[in-house]
Amino acid sequence: MFKPLDPLLHSQLRLAVMSLLIGVEEAEFTFLREKTESTAGNLSVQLDKLEKAGYIGIEKSFKGKRPLTTCKITKVGLKAFEEYVENLRNYIE
């Protein structure tokens, strides 16, 4: 009936990040920060967790002379997200 909800995704900010990443090829740190209206510190921590779980990939490079962090959802992440949503539906429908 109520399947457990992946604690990594059952978090407002991480869920928002995953939601954003599903719609795009890849996204920059600042883009995610603006869209989620989060602080940089919080976003940084949550991105780390998603990366460690293998849900997203993070690439660090430079845009001109400034550091650039680019995020991309992985197959594992996409699958986890879909399963989370599927499970969540039992709670809200």
Partner DNA sequence: TAAATAGGTTTATGATATAAACTATTTTAA
Partner DNA sequence: TTAAAATAGTTTATATCATAAACCTATTTA
Decide which of a copy of itself, DNA, none touches 43; Cβ closer than 5 to 8 Å per partner kind: DNA
Q: What is the DSSP string of 12-54?
A: HHHHHHHHHHHTSS-EEHHHHHHHHT--HHHHHHHHHHHHHTT
List all residues 6 or more positions away from 12 whose beta carbon is below 8 Å from its beta carbon. none
Q: Which stretch binds a copy of itself (CB under 8 A): 10-18, 40-48, 54-62, 64-72?
A: 10-18
Q: Is 24 in the site for DNA (CB under 7 A)?
A: no
Contacts to a copy of itself from residues 21-40, by CB under 8 A: 35-37
Q: Is 60 in the site for DNA (CB under 7 A)?
A: yes
